Amino acid sequence: MSIYVLRSDNLVKIGFSDNLRARVQSIIATVPVPVEFVGHMPGGKEVEEHLHSIFAASRFSGEWFVESEEMRAVFETLLTPRLPDPDRPKQIRRSVEKTSTQQVSLMVREAAAHKWPTKNKSEIVDALASDLGWSRTRAKDFYYADPRIALRAYEMAEVEKWLAAVRSALGIRNRA
């Protein structure tokens, strides 16, 4: 858990989150005025409530406060002024997902070649997009195993269902 502080003009937001980067990016993206990241520190709900009580006289609305010199001094002392680097395990997991997507793409290409033996690759991509209910661009990126693409869970489920149906119709045994 982390306490974070954001600033917009003379207002500051003091909040906490267990996913600091995502929470800060979400707020910055949704607040209709410019918001800047001031800093973060370890802490949870209790620390947040304590800071809210210390600065209660400056409360503007909810978790937003009118910034004061006292706040600036506390923030300069306690806060780390930049977001931590993203966790490496998430990047490793994503590369595993990409490898899986590429493997599934190969299986789809093989099944599609059996299902539509007279179609060229462009026609196969169109037919695949139609079968899956995807945009042509998404189907094309997946079909050609674009390394930038990773399937979402629901897309993987759609592809697995499609593969099972094609294999069943063509009498192809599933790979182990």
What letter does residue 29 receive in the DSSP assignment?
Answer: H
Sequence-distant (≥ 6) Cβ neighbours of residue 120 within 8 angstroms: none
- pTM for the model: 0.49
Single-letter amino acid, residue 61: S
Among 57, 78, 99, the domain boundary falls at: 78
Among 78, 103, 133, the domain boundary falls at: 78
Q: Report pLDDT digits (tens) over 37-72.
A: 999 999 999 999 999 999 999 999 999 999 999 999
Residue 140 has φ and ψ, to the nearest 5°, of -65, -45
One domain for residues 140 and 161 = yes
Q: How confident is the model at residue 32 (pLDDT cuts 50, 70, 90)?
A: confident
Flag whether 118 is in a domain.
yes
One domain for residues 36 and 105 = no
**Range(s) of the domain holding residue 17:** 2-78
Q: How far apart are CA 153 and CA 149, in angstroms?
A: 13
Q: Report pLDDT digits (tens) over 69-120.
A: 999 999 998 998 888 776 555 444 444 445 588 888 999 999 999 999 999 9
What is the average per-residue pLDDT within 160-166? 91
One domain for residues 35 and 105 = no
Flag whether 141 is in a domain.
yes
One domain for residues 110 and 149 = yes
Residue 87 has what pLDDT?
58
Flag whether 83 is in a domain.
no
